[in-house]
């Protein structure tokens, strides 16, 4: 009695199986497999996101070949300027730090710095490497100085109109700690301008300290971290020369630590150091020196305006977005200006500050420097400029 029902049931089941397998055969293969990989930019489809990776790869290869062929120089050749602006375009994709082509581009350049430091001896003048953000390394015949050297952003800010401000992790972007250690081994001292996370990198500081090399910073850098007590806190006094022993005490370095601030409504201590090398050259690095709102607040211009009356400055490494950089530069009166802090990837798009400047919006006068007689050499990650006091 049950037999026919059971047969009917079996045939219905068979039909369902046949229909299901027919349906699966017309669906894309991946619907039978694992769910799709998340895109780097969560607002893009798989295809669009993959295109953005291919475009980053193609543009960065183009940038690389131009920059290798046309190294940093003054005046800036047109093709070099175009390459830097193409780099701006790649770096203003907010998700760029998580794109593998950019990570490869950055890592290759940082590894090259480590290798060059290990193989480069300077006979005359100075060799200057541009690192991430506002990081620079200066080598003369007798000493190697590191300023605000950083492994690179490990997260970045996204301002989403719907979801508000979020922090996105990018663990694949920073250079490995082992390269920071290689670089620290090649330097004699690290100067950290101020406490902010895009300048003060605990892993880099730790690498210097572990090798017995001094790290000089304002007193509040690494607050709450055991590193703070190991940092050298020099007095912040305008124009007054102090000494710092480097190379296990065998070299006495002369320097001024200007009492700067990142003053944007309230002040963060920001060391502006001017270091004199035994060869008679001097290198200034201004960290995130800014007096804002300007011109209402300009406390630091009391000493900035007068630097040149007290000291001869060869090279000024200035952040690119400070206000009235022309006036700051006239205060230091250097032979050469190297702008830094372009394309800080931890910042949102509008505040990454591109090589093209966005000067009108940000009220900057950086690009007025050449007309005022100050050579401006724009560099990007891992590039070197050879400074010769005779040639400038």
Residues that bind Zn ion (CB under 5 A): 198, 288
* Cα dihedral across residues 175, 198, 201, 139: positive or negative: positive
Residue whose CB is less far from Zn ion, 49 or 198:
198
Q: How far is the CB of 125 from Zn ion (least distance, A)?
A: 28
Report CA dihedral (62, 89, 129, 300) to the nearest 10 degrees: 160
Comparing CA positions, the residue from 260, 190, 189, 194 lying closest to residue 221 is: 194
Q: Which residue has the tokens 């804002």?
A: 292
Q: Closest distance between Zn ion and the C-beta of residue 316, in Å?
A: 17
Using the minimum distance from each CB to Zn ion, give the nearer residue, 286 or 329.
286
Q: Measured from the CB atom, is 88 or 288 closer to Zn ion?
A: 288
Complex with Zn ion: residue 288 or 300, whichever CB lies closer: 288
CB of 196 to Zn ion, least distance (A): 5
Q: At its nearest, how many Å lie between Zn ion and the CB of residue 197?
A: 9
Long-range contacts of 150-155 (CB under 8 A, 24+ apart): 150/198, 150/199, 150/201, 150/204, 151/175, 151/176, 151/177, 151/179, 151/180, 151/201, 151/203, 151/204, 152/106, 152/110, 152/345, 153/97, 153/198, 153/344, 153/345, 153/346, 155/346
- Asked if 368 contacts 326 with a C-beta cutoff of 8 angstroms, the reply is yes
The DSSP code sequence of 120-173 is ----SSEEEEE-STT-EEEE-SS-EEEES-----SEEEEEETTTEEEEEE-TTS
Answer whether the bond into residue 75 is a cis peptide, omega within 30°.
yes
Closest C-alpha among 122, 146, 256 to residue 199: 146
Q: Which long-range contacts (CB under 8 A, 24 or more apart) does 291-295 make?
A: 291/261, 291/263, 291/323, 292/263, 292/264, 292/265, 292/323, 293/265, 294/323, 294/324, 295/324
188/198 with CB nearer Zn ion? 198
Task: Specify the residue, 66 or 217, whose C-beta has the smaller distance to Zn ion.
Answer: 217
Between 196 and 312, CB nearer to Zn ion: 196
Q: Min. distance of Cβ 147 from Zn ion in angstroms? A: 12
Q: Using CA of residue 345, residue 348, residue 349, residue 352, what is the dihedral sign?
A: negative
Question: Based on CB atoms, which residue is closest to Zn ion, 40 or 328?
Answer: 328
To the nearest whole angstrom, how small is the minimum distance from the Cβ of residue 103 to Zn ion? 21
CB of residue 344 vs Zn ion: minimum separation in angstroms? 6
Q: How far is the CB of 170 from Zn ion (least distance, A)?
A: 17
- Tell me the closest approach of the beta carbon of residue 124 to Zn ion, in angstroms: 33
Burial 293-303 (b: 16+ CB within 10 A, else e): eeeebbebbeb
């Amino acid at each position: 009695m049950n037999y026919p029902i059971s047969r009917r049931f079996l045939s219905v089941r068979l039909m369902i199986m046949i229909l299901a397998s027919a349906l699966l055969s017309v669906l894309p293969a991946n619907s039978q497999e694992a769910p799709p990989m998340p895109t780097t930019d969560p607002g893009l489809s798989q295809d669009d996101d993959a295109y953005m990776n291919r475009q980053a790869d193609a543009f960065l290869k183009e940038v690389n070949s131009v920059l290798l062929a046309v190294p940093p120089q003054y005046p800036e050749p047109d093709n070099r300027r175009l390459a830097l602006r193409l780099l701006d375009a790649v770096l203003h994709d907010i998700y760029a730090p998580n794109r593998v082509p950019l990570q490869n581009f950055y890592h290759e350049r940082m590894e090259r710095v480590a290798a060059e430091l290990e193989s480069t001896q300077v006979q005359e003048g100075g060799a200057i490497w541009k690192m991430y953000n506002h990081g620079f390394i200066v080598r003369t015949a007798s000493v190697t100085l590191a300023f605000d050297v950083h492994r690179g952003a490990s997260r970045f800010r996204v301002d989403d109109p719907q979801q508000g401000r979020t922090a996105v992790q990018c663990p694949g972007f920073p250079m490995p700690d082992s390269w920071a250690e290689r670089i620290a081994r090649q330097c004699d001292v690290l100067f950290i301008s101020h406490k902010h996370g895009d300048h003060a990198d605990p892993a880099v500081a730790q690498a210097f300290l572990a090798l017995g090399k001094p790290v000089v910073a304002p007193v509040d850098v690494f607050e709450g971290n055991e590193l703070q007590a190991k940092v050298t806190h020099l007095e912040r006094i305008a124009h007054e020369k102090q000494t710092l022993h480097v190379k296990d005490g065998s070299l006495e370095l002369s320097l001024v630590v200007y009492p700067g601030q990142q003053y944007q409504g309230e002040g963060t201590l920001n060391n502006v150091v001017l270091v004199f090398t035994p060869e008679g050259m001097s290198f200034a690095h201004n960290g995130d020196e800014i007096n804002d709102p300007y011109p209402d607040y300009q406390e630091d211009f009391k000493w900035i305006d007068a630097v040149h009356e007290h000291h001869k400055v060869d090279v000024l490494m200035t952040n690119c977005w400070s206000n009235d950089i022309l006036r700051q530069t006239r205060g230091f009166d250097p032979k050469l200006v190297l702008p830094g802090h372009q394309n800080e990837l931890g910042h949102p798009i509008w505040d990454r500050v591109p090589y093209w400047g966005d000067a009108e919006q940000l009220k900057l006068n950086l690009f007025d420097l050449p007309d005022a007689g100050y050579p401006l050499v724009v560099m990007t990650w891992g590039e070197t400029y050879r400074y010769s006091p005779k040639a400038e």
